[in-house]
Amino acid sequence: MRRIRTLTAAGLVCLTLGVAAEPVTLTPDQMRVLAVRALQVGDHKTTLDVTEALLKRDPADVDALVLRSRAARDSGDLKAARQAARQAWREADTDTEKYAAALVRAQALATGGTRTLAQMWLRQAAQVAPNEAMKNTAVRDFRYVQARNRFQTQLSFSVSPVSNLNNGSVKDEGLYDFPFFGTVKAELGGAAKALSGVETAHGVTTRFRFLDQPKHKSDIYLSYNNRSYVLSDEAKKTAPNAKASDFEFTSLSVTLAHMGKLDGAPGPFRASIGWNKTWYGGEPYTRGLSASLRQDVMISKETGLYVGVAYSGQDALSRTGDSEALEYTAGMRHRFGASGHSFSLDLSHEKSKSDFSSMDYLSYGIAAGLTLGKPVLGLNWDFGLSMSTKHHDGSMVRNLDRMEKSYSAKIRAEITPLEYYGFVPTVTLDGSKVESNMGQYDRENFGVKLGLESSF
Q: Tell me the average pLDDT across 41-46.
A: 91
pTM greater than 0.85: no
**406: exposed, middle or buried (C-beta count within 10 Å: 0-12, 13-18, 19+)?**
middle
CATH 1.25.40.10 domain extents, the chain: 4-147
pLDDT digits (tens, 9 = 90+) for 96-155: 999 999 999 999 999 999 999 999 999 999 999 999 999 999 999 999 999 889 999 999
For residue 62, pLDDT over 60 is answered with yes
Which helix (H) or strand (E) element contains residue 135? helix 132-147
List Cβ neighbours of 149 (8 Å cut-off, separation of 6 or more): 115, 116, 119, 209
* Confidence band of 430 (pLDDT split at 50, 70, 90): very high
Per-residue pLDDT tens over the stretch 163-220: 999 999 988 877 776 665 566 677 888 888 999 999 999 999 999 999 999 899 999 9
User: 3-state DSSP: the chain helix, strand, coil percent, rounded to 5?
Assistant: 30, 45, 25
Judge: domain 151-454, CATH 3.30.70: no
The confidence score (pLDDT) of residue 181 equals: 59
- DSSP-derived pairing of the beta strands 341-354 and 323-336: antiparallel
CATH architecture of 4-147: Alpha Horseshoe (1.25)
Sign of CA dihedral 298, 299, 301, 303: negative
**Chain Cα centroid distance, residue 50:** 44
Whole-number pLDDT of residue 13: 34
Q: Are 276 and 253 in contact (CB under 8 A)?
A: yes
Sequence ranges of the chain with CATH classification 2.40.160: 151-454
Residue 295 CA: distances (Å) to CA of 210, 258, 305, 309, 350: 22, 12, 9, 9, 18
Task: Calculate the alpha carbon distances from 356 to 64, 168, 285, 333, 376 in Å.
Answer: 74, 20, 16, 38, 50
Residues 263, 269 contacting (CB under 8 angstroms): no
Mean pLDDT computed over every residue of the chain: 89
Number of H helices, E strands in the chain: 9, 18
Which DSSP symbol is given to 420?
Answer: B
What's the Cα-to-Cα distance from 190 to each of 228, 246, 438, 450, rounded to whole Å? 19, 13, 18, 28
Q: Which helix (H) or strand (E) holds 30?
A: helix 28-40
